[in-house]
Amino acid sequence: MDQTNGKDELPGYVPGPGTDLVGLKRATDAIRANVERVMVGQRGTIDLLLVALLAGGHVLIEDVPGMGKTVMARALARSIGGDFQRIQCTPDLTPSDITGISVFSPKTGEFELRPGPIMAQVVLADEINRATPRTQSALLEAMAEQQVTVDRSTLALPQPFMVIATQNPIELEGTFPLPEAQLDRFLLRLHMGYPTLAEERAILQRFRDAAPLEELVPVTTPDALLQAQATVRRVRIEAPVETYLLEIVRATREHHSVELGASPRAALALARASQAMAALGGRAYVLPDDVKRLAVPVLGHRLITSVETRLHGQAGDLIIDEVVAHARVPVESY
């Protein structure tokens, strides 16, 4: 979808939030409502996508096929008036298939750049673990540095920039597990889960005779989202809450089932995500509940557990739950 700049071209336009948290909440409420026109029963997942968007992070969704991951990513891109590209990851995918390539033009006698699908504001990397490590590294640069290198030329990516990657946790044949460095670039890891009976009935009825995704219109602009991201960075984290956050991170390094705990980058990620969660609720300050809610999706995929723990099937998420349960919650008022 082409980026839209004029307010008159946005039927559902909500004014940009600027430094106003009330305006930011109004804009994010509009995005959520827009996405929920095509996604039924996924409010928690949508809220976490908005957290990642406001924090300037990327999302890894682990779930079986057919859960609506592509539809949700498209709906988010349409709602913010941003460009959307989908990369179907396969073993024969090359880095240039993602970043682009320079092609010689007989007309001009010069090489011309043909940008790859990474040059979009919302990029869906479908089944990312089917791409080879060399190709995954091309995504790593884009996610970490907000830029790509094509034939020694460095190109800045459009802003805001967000990668939503998916992987099937069931099928392992023909896959290349994501290395720790790549996993660490994802702000959040999410699981959507199956809908309830009522929700699945609503999905059937909603999509039986209509295509809600095609009817979505932007409700904000990429420029307004950049302002919102700047506003989120000014959300306060008071000392007691900061201590609570750091105690959770540090406890992962001392847990008997963990070989390598959360890094300082993980602490920064949890702080940024907590600021975004607070802003999503219209607050200028972070609560311990924000940190607690985000601990698993932010930290769970960053732990390297012991061999014995993996053999017993204990995932990082369960360890984070245990750490949070034992962390001392601050009781001061904010």
Going from the C-alpha of 57 to that of each of 164, 276, 295, the distances in angstroms are 10, 11, 15
Query: What pLDDT is recorded for position 138?
Result: 82
pLDDT of residue 75: 93
Look at residue 163 in the predicted model and tell me its pLDDT: 94
Token look-up 């896959």 returns 175
- Supply the pTM of this predicted model: 0.85
Strand spans (E) along the chain = 59-62, 84-88, 100-105, 110-115, 122-126, 147-150, 153-156, 162-167, 188-190, 258-260, 304-305
pLDDT (0 to 100) of residue 5: 40
Residue 189 neighbours by CB under 8 Å, 6+ apart: 59, 60, 61, 62, 183, 297, 300, 301
Predicted pLDDT of residue 14: 44
Look at residues 253, 324, 326 and name the one whose alpha carbon lies nearest to residue 291: 324
The rounded Cα 106 to chain-centroid distance in angstroms is 41
Taking phi first (over 0 means left), then psi (-120 to 50 degrees means alpha), and beta for anything else, what does residue 41 get?
left
User: How many other C-beta atoms lie within 10 A of the C-beta of residue 228?
Assistant: 27
Q: Which token pair is 214?
A: 């095609």
- Per the structure block, which two tokens stand in for 276? 């975004």
Class of CATH domain 235-326: mainly alpha
Phi/psi at 36 (nearest 5 deg)? -70, -10
**Whole-number pLDDT of residue 284:** 93
pLDDT of residue 314: 58
Domain ranges of the chain: 9-228, 235-326
Distant-in-sequence, close-in-space partners of 215: CB < 8 Å, separation ≥ 6: 37
pLDDT value at residue 12: 43
- What's the pLDDT tens digit per position in 94-122? 988 898 887 877 877 777 778 889 999 99
Exposure of 159 by Cβ count < 10 A (0-12 exposed, 13-18 middle, 19+ buried)?
middle
Can you give the pLDDT at residue 123? Answer: 93
Tokens, residue 94: 């090359």
Provide block-wise average pLDDT over 10 residues at a time, the chain (334 residues): 39 47 91 92 93 95 85 92 92 89 78 85 91 86 85 84 87 73 88 89 85 87 92 94 96 86 93 96 94 95 75 72 91 61
- The dihedral built from the CA positions of residue 118, 121, 124 and 130, taken in this order, carries a sign that is positive
74 vs 68: CA distance, rounded Å: 10
Fold of 9-228: Rossmann fold (3.40.50)
Instruction: Return left, alpha or beta for 76; rule: phi > 0 is left, psi -120 to 50 is alpha, else beta.
Output: alpha
- State the residue for tokens 């069931």: 170
Collapsed DSSP state (helix, strand, coil) of residue 185? coil
The single residue listed with the structure tokens 């890094």 is 263
H or E, element range at 129: none
What residue type is 183 in one-letter code?
Answer: L
Q: Are 221 and 228 in contact (CB under 8 A)?
A: no
